[in-house]
Amino acid sequence: MNPNITLENTYLTLPEEFYTAQLPSKVPSPNLVKWNSSLAKELGLDSEFFQSKEGVLILSGNKVLENSTPIAEAYAGHQFGYFTMLGDGRAVLLGEIVTKDGERYDIQLKGSGRTPYSRGGDGKATLGPMLREYIISEGMKGLRIPSTRSLAVLTTGETILRETMLPGAILVRTAKSHIRVGTFQYANQFLDTKELRALADYTIERHFSEVSSKGERYRNLLHEVVNSQARLIAKWQLVGFIHGVMNTDNMAICGETIDYGPCAFMDTYHPETVFSSIDREGRYSYQNQPGMASWNLARFAEALLPLLHDNKEKAIEIAQEEFNLFSKWYHNYWYEGMRKKLGLFHKNEMDEHLIEALLSMMLKYEADFTNTFRDLTLSQTTQMKLADSTEYQQWISLWQERRKQQEESLEESRKLMESVNPAVIPRNHRVEEALERAVNFKDYAALDSLVAVLRHPYDYQNLNDYYTTPPGEAACGYRTFCGT
């Protein structure tokens, strides 16, 4: 069989300081355990071939296509506030696929062995975290949140030492690109303005070609990135997604969610919710995510200063003007999303009060974030502590009155709510159950069933209590780990 695909690698047009040629490490016994056939179809890939013995050799990195030039990308970044040199320490970019619609996607192997950027690490990945990324990224796709995707997960036949001995694995990840805020920080900190400009020009042509012919192209680049990140973080907040490790190297310039290490979804609403075991101070808690995105974008603006204007003071002024737009845009995207979650089509001066009052009650009565809005959509009551309160009943009356003031009917309002309020999310306890069965018993049935449901989170006609019921109190101390 023939894979019949052409891999390009336009990243090679950048100065060589941005990457290192790097073949994936060969693994002893690659075995395909998850193949994303729907994504493969979108990319125009032959699923039959890639599930064959020869296809598995390519997906594992044991065989490199003739037209592929694998590289590890160089970048830097602030990790929990501290700047350091980084790079692809356990990933190799095989190349890029261009779909029939003209869309370009990176094909990257994650867990493919040591690179010059491994910093003493083994360059490997284990099965649990790679399956987690597969589950969550498909969940994000279902939620219509821009995200990298998982094309395949393979076991390698190796045993990897973390806190215990775990099965080795490789994730085949797709992304619009892997250019990060940290890539620009690397260019600004360690290279010359010439190389920084080359990176900016490449990024504009690849992701923001509509601004390439406009006068202030680098200001326009900053403008577009700030806007796309404001939109992305608002989408996270609207479904209770907590990334867990919002370092600058984990902010993709293209506006996709990247790196699903210690991420999780909030059950009980609390702004201070944090799951990551390494985030001991709550730097990347739910309530801090907009602020941390703003902080990351400030670092991006700093990196672009040499391109914004020859006069440093003027460059800082331009950067400040563009950077300051984040809070305005985020606020607008978030409140627009919250109005839709309440079935409200148009702005009204009382809307912010309605929203803030509801969130305050959800916090006070420990309501489940997702199910509160699902209950409102279905006009039902499952959050008894919340629903039995007098203040909530008063709020319901105000909300119903507000909906009746609209030209749109209550039925149209309900349909709007169904389109934005997921009935199901990747509940942490269900994700863990699926991972435990897969990793410990090689049983993927629970994982497959979960992913199938997560691909249709707004399907109100086929609700299943198994996937919508929150965890019991025993799961309240849930913690996630980065997998390295």
pLDDT in tens, 264-290: 999 999 999 999 888 888 999 999 999
Please, what's the largest Cα pairwise distance for the chain? 69
* pLDDT at residue number 483: 57
According to the model, what pLDDT value does residue 476 have? 57
442: left (phi over 0), alpha (psi -120 to 50) or beta: left
Mark whether 25 and 56 lie in a shared domain: yes
Looking at the fold, whether 320 and 467 belong to one and the same domain comes out as no
Burial class (CB in 10 A: 0-12, 13-18, 19+), 66: exposed
Same-domain pairing of 25 and 138: yes
Question: Which residues partner with 79 through β-bridges?
Answer: 82
Q: What is the pLDDT of residue 1?
A: 55
Under 8 Å between Cβ of 20 and 75: no
- Whole-structure pTM value: 0.96
In order of 85, 124, 164, the CA distances from 483 in angstroms are: 20, 10, 12
Q: Tokens 């609209």 — which residue?
A: 406
Supply the residues annotated as catalytic: 249
Q: What one-character DSSP code corresponds to residue 249?
A: G
CB burial class (10 A; 0-12, 13-18, 19+) of residue 331?
Answer: middle
Beta carbons of 264 and 428 less than 8 angstroms apart: yes
How many separate domains does the chain show? 3
Determine the pLDDT at residue 439: 97
Rounded (5°) CA angle 87-91-93: 95
Say yes or no to pLDDT of 60 above 60: yes
pLDDT band at 375 (very low <50, low <70, confident <90, very high): very high
478 part of a folded domain = yes
Q: Are residues 250 and 318 in the same domain?
A: yes
Model confidence at 188: pLDDT above 80: yes
C-alpha 342/C-alpha 449 separation (Å) is: 30
Q: Please, which pLDDT band fits residue 472 given cuts at 50, 70 and 90?
A: confident
Residue 403 scores a pLDDT above 70: yes
Q: Is the pLDDT of residue 58 over 60?
A: yes
pLDDT digit string (tens) for 224-263? Answer: 999 999 999 999 999 999 999 999 999 999 999 999 989 9
Distance between CA 355 and CA 71 in Å, rounded?
48
**2 part of a folded domain:** no
Q: Verify that 386 and 413 share a domain, yes or no.
A: yes
Q: Supply the pLDDT for residue 180.
A: 98
Q: Are residues 199 and 119 in the same domain?
A: no
Query: Residue 228 in contact with residue 255, Cβ under 8 Å?
Result: yes
Averaged pLDDT for residues 209-237: 92
Say if residue 39 is in the same domain as residue 170.
yes
Asked if residue 212 has pLDDT above 70, the reply is: no
Residue 222 and residue 326 in one domain: yes
Q: Residue 327: is its pLDDT beyond 60? A: yes
Tokens 């985020």 locate to 330
Domain boundary among 302, 320, 335: 335
Radius of gyration of the chain (CA): 23
Q: Where are the beta strands (DSSP E) in 162-303?
A: 165-175, 241-242, 264-265
- 471 occurs within a structural domain: yes
Question: What value does the mean pLDDT take over residues 15-19?
Answer: 98
**What percent of the chain is modeled with pLDDT above 70?**
96
Q: What are the pLDDT digits (tens) for 427-471?
A: 999 999 999 999 999 999 999 999 999 999 999 999 899 999 999
Residue 121 falls within a domain, yes or no? yes
Say whether both 321 and 188 belong to one domain. Answer: yes
Based on the fold, state whether residues 348 and 484 are members of the same structural domain: yes
Q: What is the mean pLDDT of residues 208-224?
A: 87
**DSSP-H helix ranges across 280-409:** 289-308, 312-323, 325-341, 351-364, 369-378, 384-387, 390-404
The pLDDT value recorded for residue 6 is: 85
- Lowest-pLDDT range of 1-15, 86-100, 358-372, 437-451: 1-15
Burial class (CB in 10 A: 0-12, 13-18, 19+), 351: middle
Q: Where are the beta strands (DSSP E) in 127-254?
A: 149-161, 165-175, 241-242
Residues 76 and 135 in one domain: yes
3-state SS, residue 411: helix
324 and 377 part of one domain: no
Range of the domain at 126: 10-175
Q: Quote the pLDDT of residue 269.
A: 97
Beta bridge partner(s), residue 168:
126
